[in-house]
Structure 1
Amino acid sequence: MNKAGTKGVARAERERQIIGIAIEELGERGHARASVVDIARRAGISKPLVYGYFGSKDGLYLACLSHVGDLLVEAVDAARARSGSPDQALDTLAALFDAVGTCRYAWSVLYDPTIPPAGVIHDAAMRYRARLADIGAAGSTDLLRRAGHHAPLDHALLNHIWQYAVTAVMRWWTDHPEQSPADMTARCARVLSALTPN
Structure 2
Amino acid sequence: MSRQTGTPIENNREKIWLVDSKGLIVSSRMESLQQFKKPWAHDHEPVNNLLDAVKPTVLIGTSGVGKTFTHVVVEAMASFNEKPVILALSNPTTQSECTAEEAYTWSKGCAIFASGSPFDPVEYEGKIFVPGQANNAYIFPGFGLGVVISGAIRVHDEMLLAASQALAQQVTRENFDKGLIYPPFKNI
The two structures have a TM-score, normalised by structure 2, of 0.29
- Larger Rg over CA atoms: 1
Higher strand residue share: 2
More RCO (CA 8 Å, sep 6+): 1
Higher helix residue share: 1
The two structures have a TM-score, normalised by structure 1, of 0.28
